[in-house]
Amino acid sequence: MKVLVVNCGSSSLKYQVIDSDTEQIEAKGLCERIGLDGRLVYQPTGGEKEITEAPMPTHSEAIQMVLDALVNPKTGVLKSLDEVEAIGHRVLHGGAKLTESALVNDDVIAAIEEASDLGPLHNPANLMGIHACMKLMPGKPNVVVMDTSFGMTLPAKAYRYAIPTEYYEKYHIRRYGFHGTSHSFVSKETIKYLNLDPDNSKVIVAHLGNGASITAVKNSKCVDTSMGVTPLEGLIMGTRSGDLDPAIIDYLCSHENLTAAQMNTILNKKSGVMALSNNLSSDFRDLEDAMNEGNEAAGLAIDAFSYRVAKYIGSYAAAMNGVDAIAFTGGIGENAGIVRKKVLEYLGFLGITLDEEANKKRGETFVVSTPDSRVKVIVLPTNEELAICRETVRLVKNA
Residues that bind ligand AMP (CB under 6 A): 209-210, 238, 282-285, 330-332, 335-336
- For 314-340, letters b (16+ CB in 10 Å) and e give bebbebbeebbbbbbbbbbbbbbbbbb
Residue 216 region by backbone torsions, left for phi larger than 0, else alpha for psi between -120 and 50, else beta: beta
Please give the Cα distance from 98 to 287 (Å, whole number).
Answer: 39
CB of 253 to ligand AMP, least distance (A): 29
Contact call for residues 190 and 182 (beta carbons, < 8 A): no
Residue type, 231: P
Nearer to ligand AMP, 83 or 283 (CB): 283
CB of 285 to ligand AMP, least distance (A): 5
Residue 31 backbone phi and psi in degrees, to 5:
-110, 130
Please give the Cα distance from 290 to 293 (Å, whole number).
Answer: 5
Nearer to ligand AMP, 88 or 330 (CB): 330
What number of other Cβ atoms are within 10 A of residue 54's Cβ? Answer: 12
Residue type, 289: D
Nearer to ligand AMP, 4 or 332 (CB): 332
Alpha carbons within 13 angstroms on the beta-carbon side of residue 188 total 13
CB of 24 to ligand AMP, least distance (A): 21
Nearer to ligand AMP, 252 or 297 (CB): 297
Nearer to ligand AMP, 34 or 186 (CB): 186
Sign of CA dihedral 175, 179, 185, 186: negative
Nearer to ligand AMP, 282 or 369 (CB): 282
Please give the Cα distance from 255 to 269 (Å, whole number).
Answer: 20
Residue type, 310: A
Q: Out of 21, 147, 199, 355, pick the active-site residue.
A: 147
Residue 392 backbone phi and psi in degrees, to 5:
-60, -45
CB of 224 to ligand AMP, least distance (A): 21
Catalytic (active site) residue 147? yes
Residue 363 region by backbone torsions, left for phi larger than 0, else alpha for psi between -120 and 50, else beta: left
CB of 333 to ligand AMP, least distance (A): 8
CB of 182 to ligand AMP, least distance (A): 9
Nearer to ligand AMP, 84 or 336 (CB): 336
CB of 195 to ligand AMP, least distance (A): 27
Q: Which residues are tagged catalytic?
A: 147
